[in-house]
Amino acid sequence: MCNFLFLASSRPLPLLPAREEELEFYVTELKDREKSVLEWFSEPNAYFIGSYSGCSCPFECEYDWDDPDPDELEDIAKGRRDFSLLASYLRQAVQEGAKLQLYNAWDYWLPPVQVMDLKIDSLMQERFVFSDRQLYHVVR
């Protein structure tokens, strides 16, 4: 099973399709089975956020930061790149006037356990990861 990261916006946002030849951060429309997440958002336009792994797991994955194994080092670098691309995407949307929300969950059909504000710059912190079943209101 995978982690899911969803984005809701007050206005339509551009889709960024997944590229099979080199997966990285992407934004797609919700699949029918994912539409239950709409219940948790107050904004009308919702999207799935994916990563280099083909899912949203790297956005919640916590590593052994003090002693990562060599395989984790590559995953950490790819994950941080996707966080950077996500931050850029969110900044652009906010600059264009969008109000944004993010919901991160393994079991996305369950309600959020906490609602909190999230500064886009927080995504650039080296050890930042989204918490499970958290609804975030994106703020500058």
Whether pLDDT at 68 is above 80: no
The span from the first CA to the last CA of the chain, in angstroms, equals 32
- Torsion from C-alpha of 79, 99, 135, 42, nearest 10 degrees: -140
Domain parsing of the chain, residue ranges: 4-139
Whether pLDDT at 65 is above 80: no
Tens digits of per-residue pLDDT, 9-62? 999 999 999 988 788 999 999 999 999 999 999 999 999 999 998 888 888 877
118 pLDDT tier (thresholds 50, 70, 90): very high
63 pLDDT tier (thresholds 50, 70, 90): low
This prediction's pTM: 0.92
Q: Which of 58, 124, 47, 43 is nearest to 91 (CA)?
A: 124
